[in-house]
């Protein structure tokens, strides 16, 4: 009996010692990786979901966490490249997406983030076709012993996202040509799929929109089929409140980082509920 316990303890110790230590830069990737690996690896998130990843600067403890990671799952496309350039074990999942599908940034943002809108995790199609497969394949490459486990879990996540994608299809399929107002150009890829134009208040990270910019957006919205006004919980709502009051359209919370979500599917379920309420009311 003692021998069996000893063998069990040694086996557990070996698994614990050799388990992957994974750091994800933002919460959506934490949710994805955690769902895929379960208890087979240690997963942590660098930037808390209530913070703005565009203005993040790593602390000494963050640098230590990154240095100790076996794998860093990051977005790329300018969002987190700068503070990760000295690390080798980095998977930039956003850069697995063909550039022909990406949206170019407005000029005022280009010097801050590069060429393309980096919010690719907010496209279900990008997640199912490129991002989750890239994460799965890297985990399998690094930990072949648990390959079947990772592949099974990744498939489950992809299938659950495809189901919620059908709900968006039903909600937005006839909204081509409509517009939405966002404080920050985060959900661009989701709305672009349905031919919906995003009017973003932000003119640069951390910069308050000018009075002229707000006026232009309000005038544009009045001439258009406005279906929603949204703000993320990570950002100040003052400007959105001005626009919302002027247009007599109540704004809704649309969280790009899933601060209250336990899974990546739940992030999109919450987004679906906010958009549905904006379009049709409660």
pLDDT (tens digit, 9 = 90+) per residue, 162-217? 999 999 999 999 999 999 999 999 999 999 999 999 999 986 666 778 999 999 99
pLDDT of residue 11: 46
CATH topology of domain 16-164: Rossmann fold (3.40.50)
Q: What pLDDT sits at residue 9?
A: 52
Which residues of the chain are under the pLDDT cut of 50? Answer: 6-7, 10-16, 109-112
Taking alpha carbons only, the member of 186, 164, 165, 142 closest to residue 36 is: 142
Average pLDDT, the chain: 91
**Predicted pLDDT of residue 1:** 57
The CATH fold assigned to 166-280 is Rossmann fold (3.40.50)
Whether the model clears a pTM of 0.85, i.e. scores above it, the answer is yes
**pLDDT of 55:** 87
**159 Cβ contact list (under 8 Å, min separation 6):** none
Q: What is the pLDDT of residue 28?
A: 98
Left if phi > 0, otherwise alpha if psi is -120 to 50, otherwise beta: which for 113?
A: alpha
Other CB atoms within 10 A of residue 29 CB: 26
- pLDDT attached to residue 10: 46
Q: Looking at residue 16, what is its pLDDT?
A: 46
User: Which residue, chain included where needed, has tokens 């496209």?
Assistant: 123
Residue ranges, comma separated, of all CATH 3.40.50.1980 domains in the chain are 16-164, 166-280
> Residue 7's pLDDT is what?
47
pLDDT of residue 2: 52
Both tokens of residue 241? 């409140």
How, if at all, do strands 20-24 and 41-45 pair?
parallel
């Amino acid at each position: 009996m003692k021998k069996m316990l000893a063998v069990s303890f040694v086996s557990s110790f070996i698994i614990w010692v050799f388990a992957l230590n994974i750091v994800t830069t933002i919460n959506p990737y934490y949710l994805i990786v955690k769902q895929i690996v379960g208890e087979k690896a240690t997963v942590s998130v660098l930037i808390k979901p209530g913070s703005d990843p565009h203005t993040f600067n790593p602390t000494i403890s963050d640098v230590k966490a990154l240095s100790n990671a076996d794998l860093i799952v990051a977005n790329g496309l300018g969002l987190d490249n700068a503070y990760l350039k000295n690390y080798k074990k980095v998977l930039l999942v956003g850069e697995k997406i063909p550039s022909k599908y990406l949206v170019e940034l407005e000029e005022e943002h280009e010097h801050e983030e590069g060429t393309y809108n980096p919010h690719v995790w907010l496209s279900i199609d990008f997640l199912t076709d490129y991002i989750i497969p890239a994460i799965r394949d890297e985990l399998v490459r690094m930990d072949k012993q648990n390959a079947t486990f990772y592949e099974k879990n990744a498939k489950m996540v992809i299938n659950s996202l495809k189901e919620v994608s059908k709900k968006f299809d039903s909600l937005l399929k006839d909204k081509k040509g409509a517009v939405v107002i966002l404080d920050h150009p985060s959900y661009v890829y989701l709305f672009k799929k349905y031919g919906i134009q995003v009017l973003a208040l932000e003119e640069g990270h951390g910069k308050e929109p000018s009075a002229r910019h707000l006026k232009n957006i309000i005038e544009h919205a009045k001439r258009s089929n406005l279906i929603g006004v949204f703000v993320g919980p990570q950002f100040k709502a003052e400007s959105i409140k001005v626009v919302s009051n002027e247009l007599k359209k109540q704004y809704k919370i649309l969280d790009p980082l899933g601060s209250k979500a336990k899974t990546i599917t739940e992030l999109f379920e919450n987004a679906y509920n906010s958009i549905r309420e904006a379009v049709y009311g409660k």
